[in-house]
Amino acid sequence: MLSKANIKYIRSLQQKKYRQRYDKFIVEGTKIISEILQYPNIDIEYMIASSSWLQKYSHLYPHIPIIESNEKIMKELSSFNTPSDVLVVIPTLSPSLDENIIQNDISLFLDGIQDPGNLGTILRIADWFGIQHVFLGEGTVDLYNPKVIQSSMGAFLRVHCFHYSIENLAEQFPNIPIMGADLQGDNIFELSPEKKKGIIVIGNEGNGISNETRKYIHQRINIPAHGKAESLNAAVATGIICAIFRN
């Protein structure tokens, strides 16, 4: 069983400052955890499950130590109102940046995306379209926020995420076009095929692309509206843009 100190430690990982202090985070749910277990390089510090979960699934993981817990403790450890029957604590990820991909494919730069659900959905979109690199700019919600992890549906394992400033990104890749999604931009459907690579900037949900980031944008692009809606949700806009760039 878990000690009080163990419980306190795991609960602390619900907060960003402790995730950063310990370089660990929590993942909940059978489906996502089953994906994690396909990555032998990811070390599981704790795997904790209810007795009902163990009865159903423990035979699938004979080589992994699992700590049995009760419903009360699972609720204490969970970040959600309806806790899962299983969770793991694992180290934060250390992906490798592939310069060849940056130079010859498309990547995303998220400029202050604050909603965890939006970030998780954007990672799923990137995963769907085979976009391997997502840069998390200043003000963007923590990648390891439990709601980001949950809404990404495992995409955080496959999409390489990096904390970068737009200035550092532009300095490291001076010849890579940086395009920003903007209501006053050029019609995205009229982009020529040779221009469909580079770094695509998605701005904050309420304020769009920051003034600082705008300094580094080479071209603004826009999804033309045919109705009266003022704007698109950031994740929805990302999905449309990625589909057009992959066309």
Distance in angstroms (rounded) separating the CA atoms of residues 38 and 31:
11
Tell me if 106 sits within 8 A of 89, measured CB to CB: no
From 34, 58, 91, the end of a domain falls on 91
> CATH code at 51?
3.30.1330.30
Please enumerate in sequence order all residues whose Cβ is within 8 A of that of 136, keeping only pairs 6 or more positions apart, or say none: 110, 113, 143, 161, 162, 163, 164
Assess whether 194 and 121 both reside in one domain: yes
Helix pair 234-245, 116-128: axis angle to 10 deg:
10
Listed residue (209, 225, 239) closest to 140, CA to CA: 209
Q: How far apart are CA 165 and CA 74, in angstroms?
A: 37
Backbone phi and psi for residue 176, each to the nearest 5 degrees, phi listed first = -90, 125
Same domain as 104, residue 31: no
Residues 75 and 15 in one domain: yes
- Of all residues in the chain, what percent are helix, strand and coil, respectively (each to 5)? 40, 20, 40
Asked if residue 180 and residue 229 are part of one domain, the reply reads yes
Q: Is residue 205 located within the same domain as residue 167?
A: yes
One domain for residues 217 and 107: yes
> Is residue 217 a contact partner of residue 209, using CB atoms and an 8 Å limit?
yes
In the prediction, which pLDDT does 102 show? 94
Q: Give 134's strand partners.
A: 108, 161
What single-letter DSSP state applies at residue 15?
S
pLDDT confidence of residue 193: 77
61 and 104 inside one domain: no
Are 27 and 138 found together in one domain?
no
Annotate 16-35 with DSSP letters as a single string.
Answer: HHHHHHHTEEEEESHHHHHH
What is the domain-level CATH number for residue 232? Answer: 3.40.1280.10
The pLDDT assigned to 105 comes to 95
Domain final residue, candidates 32, 58, 91:
91
Nearest to 111 by CA among 222, 194, 228, 216: 216
Domain-ending residue, one of 91, 117, 138: 91
Question: Which structural domain range is residue 13 located in?
Answer: 4-91
Q: What is the pLDDT of residue 153?
A: 96
Same domain, 105 and 85: no
User: CB count, 10 Å around CB of 229?
Assistant: 8
Same domain, yes or no, for 80 and 16?
Answer: yes
Mean pLDDT by 10 residues, the chain (247 residues): 93 97 97 93 95 92 92 93 95 95 95 98 98 97 98 97 96 96 93 86 95 96 90 94 93
Judge if 170 and 114 occupy the same domain: yes
* pLDDT tens profile 110-123: 999 999 999 999 99
Count up the domains in the chain and report the number. 2
